[in-house]
Structure 1
Amino acid sequence: MGNILNCFKFSGFGFFCLSMDHKGAIVMQKYELGRLLGQGTFAKVYHARCVETGQSVAIKVVDKAKVRKARIMDHIEREISVMRRVRHPNVVHLYEVMATKSKIYFVLEYAKGGELFRKVEANGRLPEDVGRKYFVQLVDAVEFCHSRGVCHRDLKLENILLDEDGAIKVSDFGLSAVVECRGKDGLLHTTCGTPAYVAPEIVGRSGYDGEGADVWSCGVVLFVLLAGYLPFHDSNVMEMYRKISRGECRFPSWFSPKLKKLISRMLDPNPVSRISIAKIKASSWFKGGSEGEPVKVVSGGSEARGLLKMNAFDIISLSDGLDLSKLFEIKSCTDKECRIMSRKPAPVIVSKLERAARAAKMRVIKKDGGLLEFESIDGAMSIGAEIFVIAPALHLVEVRRRCGDAAEYEKVLNEVIRPRLVDIARSSPDEVSL
């Protein structure tokens, strides 16, 4: 643990005082803790201020002893890994992570507007045009997470925050899943989520697609925003699950036909026929409802649609000097990754990656934010390749298995992909892997 903390110090993170876990305390000689924003079983969240710049942040303080006892350290490591992947204007940004023997500190973007749940609780149901604007942002954020191989699995109003401009910020990725953690059948099998928002296939414990489960939860969120109450509710949890499994909900009289149709397709208990994110975005209600006008989305601005820029924490978290699995004393669920540093322009890197994919007889799917996906002809294997901006003339390329047989992935990586990326590495073949 000492070596890990030294790594933080060497990289500009410094040390911080563990004993001053209260208002007015100075954390890491950098952040002054303010009022308590909220707390749960394992963590407390404080408002804090950067001493040097005055910037407001939120600091989540996790008690390591409690999470070890509950055996959920994997949730903490996964949350860090996931939040590094999902840089989007409608997702809470993770600035850095600090750790001691007893505490883990998440330094997060501060959402001044609080939970969207509180807004609905205070005002009742929202006007349809207002609810639509929030929903459009939510869908955009969820789609982006899915493009990064991340499924949230606990989408609910309490996990959707608002910034001072009214833009939503999806938070709490502790129960999220990444594609590398799927079973051999390509499905997820962990039962998790909040009962009133959870998809029926999760309740059924038979394996499920995380993206489809997120669509269901988004449908519940949309219903609550515009109805002011949950679509599936009962004092008896088993009775509520029965209603969820049958998709039994009654729409309020003020829901328009187009809105009813969209929500019905999102709350389809059959995950195979449930509407996809792409079709949600193509629906007439999503694009403007009866007026047919496109929705103007309020966002905080980001580099999400371009190549992602990396800060010191991102770089350290990827290096061998800071193995997160060692920091949290658990094993990582990811397979071996290939990373290279390159001074070549992004278009050259993309071209090289595409040639490597063709040599492996895989088709290339281009996505937003410098993300490519290679897929085998039979669809059994998928490999993700992502490009990050380290500096104006320096890029980091990361290649990782998304799904498929691990041994076959290793073979394709070592025999086909790696050899074709050597000449774009920063200086020599020895630098192909970080």
Structure 2
Amino acid sequence: MAYAEKRGTGKTPWRARYKRPDGTLGSEPGFRTKKAAEEWGEDQEAAIRAGRWQDPERARTPFAEFVPIWMAAQKAAPATTIKRQRLLTRHLIPGFGTTKLCEINIFTARAWGNKQTCAQSTVGHALTLLSMILTGAADAGYLLANPMYGRRRQSDRAVHDVTQQQGAVGHVEDDDEEVWAQPEDAYQLYQRMGGVEGLMVLTACYTGLRWGELAGLHRSNVLLKRTDELDGKPFERIVFRIDPKVGALHEVEFALDEADLKRWHEAEDARLVACQEKEWKAKRRKEPKGQVRLYLGPPKNRTSSREVDLPPFLAQLWEEHLKEWPHEYVFSTPGTEGAWWRRGNYSRVLRPAADGREAIPRKRGYAGRGGWEPILPEFTMRGARHTHDTWMKEDRVDRSLRFKTMGWAVTGDIEGVYEHVTPQMRKERLDALEARWERSQRMALAQVS
């Protein structure tokens, strides 16, 4: 039976003693009165008998000690695991490493987030991960519940700068909103970038494929023919197929192990020797902490493995592209032996095309270049995916086809269980996209004239 012991003469001299499930005595200090200590101990024994007891000692486990336990229980893609490790080592463990699990709550999390000087999106990702870990602690019996579950972090948008207000009173520009394109914007980017780079951004806008799905496309999965029946007649469509096993290119920064570092140092030594032989000045580069690797793997989730219909104009552009394209992967970098695009490499092409660039005059040894006016500042390939879904919404494409095209899963929705994609839906979407393309060309001709 639980009882109380007096320890010391301070403001909280009493501690509770109670019998734990294994028969040993547990204790909890910090009570002002004997009665309070006895009642707390009796509550613990009652919870033990009812099978709902949580060990207070486990709740006092430091956050940094529980993190490896939680990480070992997770099954995630390499990119997700590395992102979590980066958030933990750079942000969460320095902030909460010695904090007891039971002392982390929405208040302490918000206070920590408000002090951070990194990007607010990074703070948001870190707090989301913190909440996931606390949910794991509750599942593992370290906590009764996750105190952050269902609680939203206060947004810094509540603090307004009147200089950001534009247009009507009370309207504040949302800087975090993804930039999306009108059809004429997509056409201008396609024309300005040209080649495979322009075709890539145009394809993204008219199909909604993710960056990795575009960069990982193989010849065997493009321009496939599918035939349905519509109004008693054959309805042929051209599709891209996202393979369930190797349908996406993943770009992940892996930590270097000892063997990797040894190979890096050997290559660096060889580089320095070659520079010395040519009498070039060269310094030893800083040892890298990680290495970005490209590999083909499954797309984002199960529903991302899909087929996406191409409007007729885009299928024709693709037929012309493949006639002259020598590589197996249809969006590999030009001028190479079919090397995959990296996000950074492609960004160096997209950024000046979308944001504009200054002219550089001709000088000795340099032919110069013309300036570009901005077309769509801050537009990204993710924005192209936003673009396609926005167009489908505007064209009133049925939700079932929108979700299937974008590779989204319908969860917890009875409507999603019963609705299906029909050939008529597909035709209406393709007709709408074709009309957008024709509109963009008319507007381009009008601007020229």
TM-score range, shorter chain: under 0.3
- Greater strand share, structure number: 1
Structure 2 length-normalised TM? 0.19
- Select the structure of larger CA radius of gyration: 2
> Which of the two has greater helix per residue?
2
Work out which structure has the larger RCO, using CA pairs closer than 8 Å and 6 or more positions apart in sequence. 2
Normalising by structure 1, what TM-score? 0.19
